[in-house]
Amino acid sequence: MNLLDTVALFGAAALAAPVGLLGVEFLADGRTLAGVGFLAVAGGLVVGVLYRPDPVDVVGGRALGWLQGDGDRGE
């Protein structure tokens, strides 16, 4: 994990923290569906940043697959 990944993770956590706290507050208030939904959104923000694919790998993999004949040619 390099510096830019760390900064991106910090930004995602900063955005997810208020959403997660809102979800906890809704759960404590008895609004289960909304609370679980907000917690899922907050978790999705953090997990999405942690496990996002590197664009270079995605493009490189598609190009390599196309060169090997495994790629999608729109047929």
For the full predicted model, state whether its pTM sits above 0.85: no
Which tokens go with 31? 């609004």
Determine, yes or no, domain membership for 63. Answer: yes
Determine, yes or no, domain membership for 74. Answer: no
Q: Residue length, the chain? A: 75
Determine, yes or no, domain membership for 38. Answer: yes
Determine, yes or no, domain membership for 75. Answer: no
Cα(43)–Cα(14) distance, rounded to whole angstroms?
12
**Cβ atoms 49, 12 nearer than 8 A:** yes
Number of domains making up the chain: 1
pLDDT tens, position by position, 10-58: 999 999 999 999 999 999 999 999 999 999 999 999 998 888 766 666 6
Q: List Cβ neighbours of 25 (8 Å cut-off, separation of 6 or more).
A: 35
Q: What is the DSSP letter of 71?
A: S
Range of the domain at 43: 3-68
Determine, yes or no, domain membership for 73. Answer: no
Determine, yes or no, domain membership for 28. Answer: yes
Determine, yes or no, domain membership for 39. Answer: yes
Determine, yes or no, domain membership for 50. Answer: yes
Shortest CA distance to 45 belongs to which of 19, 71, 64, 26? 19
